[in-house]
Each structure stands twice: as C-alpha cells, then as structure tokens.
Structure 1
Amino acid sequence: MKILKRIAVAVVVFLVIAYLGVLVAVYALQRDLQYFPNGEITPLEELSLARAQTIRIQVGDGEVVNGWYAPPQSGMPVIVYYKGNYGSFSAEHERFAAWLDEGYGFVAFDYRGFPLSPGAISEDAILSDSVEVFDWAREQGGSDLMIWGRSLGTGPATYVASLRDAEALLLETPFLSAVQVAAERYPFLPVHWLMQDQFPSNQWISDVEEPVLVAHGTADTTIDVSNGRRLYDLAPNPDELWIAEGADHSGLWDVGLWEQAREFFARY
C-alpha cells in the first residue's frame, strides 16, 4: 500500500508540474499562438483596382503601417476595413474590386507585424494602428465613413466605433471577446488570467452609437456563432443580425454578405 501511495503522489506531483509548465509555455508564447501573420503579399500593380493607390501612415512612435486607399466616386462613402488574423489584407482584393465597382472608396492595411507593415504585434499596437488609419481616412475629407471589421478585425472596428463617429459598423464573424473564444477553445486553461490581448468587444460596444450589422455563419468553427448573437444583443443601436445557415468562418462573402452590406450601408 505504501508503494501505491507513493506512486499516486508521484503521479499527482508530475501532473501538477507538467500543468504549470504548460501554463508558463502558453503565457510566454501566447502571441505566437494567437496571431497568424504569415502570408503572401499581392502587389497592387498586379491588380485592376481603379483609383487605388498604396499608402503609408505614421503610427505609434515613428512607426508606419502600409495599405491601399481608393477615393470614392462622388457622393459615395469610404469603407474603412479592418482585416482578420491571417496573412495580408492584400489577399482580399476581390472585396475591394466589388466595392470600387459600386462606387465606394476604401482604405485597408496590415497591422504592425503583419506582412506589409513592420513591427511587433500586440493588442495595443493593433488598436492604435486602427484609430490612426481611421483618422487618416477622415482627413481625406468629405466622404462618409463606414467601418467594416472581419474576425480579429471586429475587435479594433468596435473599439474605433466606440471612440470615433462613423455612419455604420459592420461586424463579420465577430467575437464577444478574444478571451471568450480562448476560454471556449481551451476550457482547461485559466485564460482570463494568462491572456494579455483580450480584445473586450463586449465592453467597447456599449459606447458604440453607430447602427450595427452583425454577420455570422452557423458552421463557423473558429468563432462560434453564439459570439455574434451575444455581441449583437449588447449593441445600443442594433440594425440587423444576419445569420447564414451552413456558412463557415470564411464563407460569408460567397453566400451574399456584400448584398447584405450594401443594403445596410445604403440605409445610412
């Protein structure tokens, strides 16, 4: 019996030490686990995006972010686009082409640490970059601004909308908060204590005065659709909750998101 007790104690000690080791590793490597910035850059000169030009916007302490800007046709708004977590915004040029064809302008960019913009990734940097880009778009003059955030970009989109005045806010596959998604994915880890970049959209949205459209798919395995529903319920000025049956995290554009967005923007 003594031998069995010693073995049991040894096993428990080993498991505790192993678990603590996992916590230390997760804390130390968390941004490598949270962000996926690698991806190919699509050069603007290889595309047929009328009116679009490359831009370089100063952010932070002398750093810069790089992106594309296209002015709108007369009387049309500009879409300020906040990209998701993978690769470069330039991979989403199909969207930009559709917007330009309808007369919209747009500004899109890579956060610091993503392919086109040098620097280190963090929540603070992403939020700062996002505010600076919005302010830059406002300085271009005259046009109404529509904010569109996708996935990770729904965090900074909500944050910017809570601080600045735009005509409307569209959130594509949003999270309630990034830490909520982590808790759903890793229920065995105390992520609320460990996670530095929590993106609390559920808090920011209480200060959003703009009308809000939330779009989500029922087959989203990256950010569960319940996140979108709950965030929409918190919006002070909800306009539309568009749930696409069977659509996954990357599938909303292909099942009619732009048609929904166009009608939403036209209302404002």
Structure 2
Amino acid sequence: MNIRWLVLAVLLSAGVSVALLYGAGEVLSRPATRAIGPPPADLHARSVRIPSGSEEFVAGWFAATTAKTGAVLLLHGVRSDRTQMLGRARALHRQGYTVLMIDLPAHGESTGDRITFGAKESAGVIAALTFLREKAPGERIGVIGVSLGAASTVLAKIESPPQAVVVESMYPTIEEAVADRLAMRLGPFGATLAPLLLWQLPARTGAKPEQLRPIERIASLGAPVLVASGSEDQHTTWAETERLFHSALAPKELWRVEGAAHVDLYAYNPSDYERKVLTFLNKHLRSNG
C-alpha cells in the first residue's frame, strides 16, 4: 500500500511539474506588447515605424544629429522595450551620435505574435540597421544589445556588418539559458527539467534549439565586439560569458562588471558604463581603430 501511494505521489508530482513548465513556456513566449507613446522632449527624437516583413514593422525613436560622427542602434532585453535604453541614448546623443532605439518584434509597439529568444527578433535588427544606414548615409554604425537584443544581433545574418558591437548579458545557448534559470528557481535539480521547456520551442516559436546558440555565431559578426556581463549574473554565468568572449574573433574586449547581477548595466553604474562603452565606440566609430 505504501509503495502504491509513493508511486501515485511521484506520478502526481511529475504531472504537476510538466503542467507548470508547460504554463511557463506559454508565459515566456507570450508577446510583451504595450503602448509607449511619444519620445521624451529632451531626446529631440521622432517616432518611426520600420517595415520588417510583408505586414510586420518595428516601432522606435530616431534621434539624428548633424555631427555626422557615427550612429548607434540600441536593442533592449526580453519583455522590455525601447525605454530601457533611454539612459544610453541620452549619453550617446550628448556625444554627438545619431541614435535609433527600437522595440524588438513582439515587444512594445512592434508587431509579432511570439517572443522567440532571438530567432525572429533578428529580422527586426536587420530592418533597423537598413533604416539607420539610409538615414545616416556614410556614417559608421554601432550596435548595443542587451540580453535578447544582443542575441538577436548575433543571430542575425547581417550582410553589411556594423563597425562595432556591444553585447551585454547574452546567453551562449538556449539550453544553458533555460537550465540556468530553472536552477535559480528550483535548485540544481531544476536544470534537469530544461528539456521539458525546450521541447516546446518549435511549436511555440517556430525555432529549434540549434538555431538559438549565439556562441556558434559570434565569430561571424564581422565587427569588433565588446562582451560585457555582471560578475554575479546567474542568468548567464561569468564562465559562460568568458566562453562567449573566447569564441569571438579579434578585435574584441571583455568587461566584467564587478558586483552586478542580471541587471541593466548602464543603470548599475552609469559613469563606468559611459567610460567603458563610449571609449570602445569612439575607437571604432570615430577612428580607423
């Protein structure tokens, strides 16, 4: 009798786990769309809608300058929107950079029916880069991508690479990203449940796990890259960040943000961020470096 009850308890527990993870898959891939509204007056930007498919578009803010000393595309993290990048945009604009901030597909005011962890978001990145080249002809272009924004950039097949790329808090593979997050919430055992989330990917997003491995694509960027992450980040561990850096081709730089977890690295320490990232961008966008 005791054995029978034990078996039933195990089966019930397994069933509950599967149901919870199935629900988690729905929540994680659900669009994070919302109204954003006009840009803040101090940014001197205008709202734009950039076509990214037959009936798709990405929404954003475009702040041009007359300095002609470089343009930067800013890409937010998962379930966020362009407002996450306002601090960076203001800092860059003060330095004379033209700035484009977009909502990635299925975020903010952009179209999209599912968050796909970089697979379909990469089309929005390509569309935004095309727009930026048209509106800032002849200027050297940089990209700053945070988490999902970073992965979407690295996974995009960009025909004309930018001249500098900053990737922040980017996962190396979707398998590790899922395992890390489950382990944070459920302990070491949680990582073993990752396959229960991953098998949902193709049905929910149209992307297979093998398509979501930025570590296998970062060497194809064709641009100088700055890889940044927090020393205490458990969503993407420092060991994983180091592997990403080692997979990238030179010229490359690695920035360990001491004490930072999986947070907005600009908000965590604006002065250090501006010093490190602006130095990197100035080197590659305003010189022959």
Q: Is the 8 A contact 1:65 1:129 kept in 2?
A: yes
Q: Is the 8 A contact 1:175 1:181 kept in 2?
A: yes
1:220/1:36 CA distance change after superposition, 3 Å? farther
Pairwise CA distance, 1:93: 1.8
The equivalent residue for 2:41 is: 47
TM-score normalised to structure 1 length: 0.86
Residue of structure 1 aligned with 2:199, choices 190, 193, 201: 193
The equivalent residue for 2:51 is: 58
Q: Report the 3-state secondary structure (helix = DSSP H, G, I; strand = E; otherwise coil) of the residue aligned with 1:7.
A: helix
State the distance in 2 between where 1:179 and 1:227 align: 12
Pairwise CA distance, 1:34: 4.8
TM-score normalised to structure 2 length: 0.80
The equivalent residue for 1:172 is: 168
Q: Percent identity?
A: 23
Q: Is the 8 A contact 2:30 2:113 kept in 1?
A: no
The equivalent residue for 2:282 is: 266
1:12/1:178 CA distance change after superposition, 3 Å? closer
Pairwise CA distance, 1:177: 2.4
Equivalent residues, number: 261
State yes or no: 1:112 paired with 2:125. no
The equivalent residue for 1:247 is: 260
Q: Is the 8 A contact 1:40 1:88 kept in 2?
A: no
- Whichever residue aligns with residue 120 of structure 1, its letter is D
CA offset digits 1:200-238 (Å, max 9, x no partner)? 211211312211111111122433233322111100224
State the distance in 1 between where 2:220 and 2:26 align: 27
State yes or no: 1:122 paired with 2:115. yes
Q: Is the 8 A contact 2:150 2:170 kept in 1?
A: yes
State yes or no: 1:30 paired with 2:25. yes
State the distance in 2 between where 1:17 and 1:97 align: 49
Higher RCO, 1 vs 2 (CA within 8 Å, ≥6 residues apart):
2
**Which residues in structure 2 correspond to 1:1-268 (within 5 Å)?**
3-23=1-21, 25-26=22-23, 30-34=25-29, 37=32, 41=36, 43-44=38-39, 46-50=40-44, 52-123=45-116, 124-140=119-135, 141-160=137-156, 163-186=159-182, 187-189=191-193, 190=195, 191-196=197-202, 198=209, 199-253=212-266, 254-255=268-269, 256-268=272-284
Q: Is the 8 A contact 1:212 1:240 kept in 2?
A: yes
The equivalent residue for 2:185 is: none
1:155/1:16 CA distance change after superposition, 3 Å? same
Q: Is the 8 A contact 1:35 1:86 kept in 2?
A: no
Q: Which runs of 4+ in 1 moved over 6 A?
A: none
Q: Superposition RMSD on alpha carbons, in Å?
A: 2.4
Where structure 2 has 5 or more consecutive residues not aligned to the other structure, the ranges are 183-190, 285-289
- Whichever residue aligns with residue 245 of structure 1, its letter is E
1:222/1:9 CA distance change after superposition, 3 Å? closer
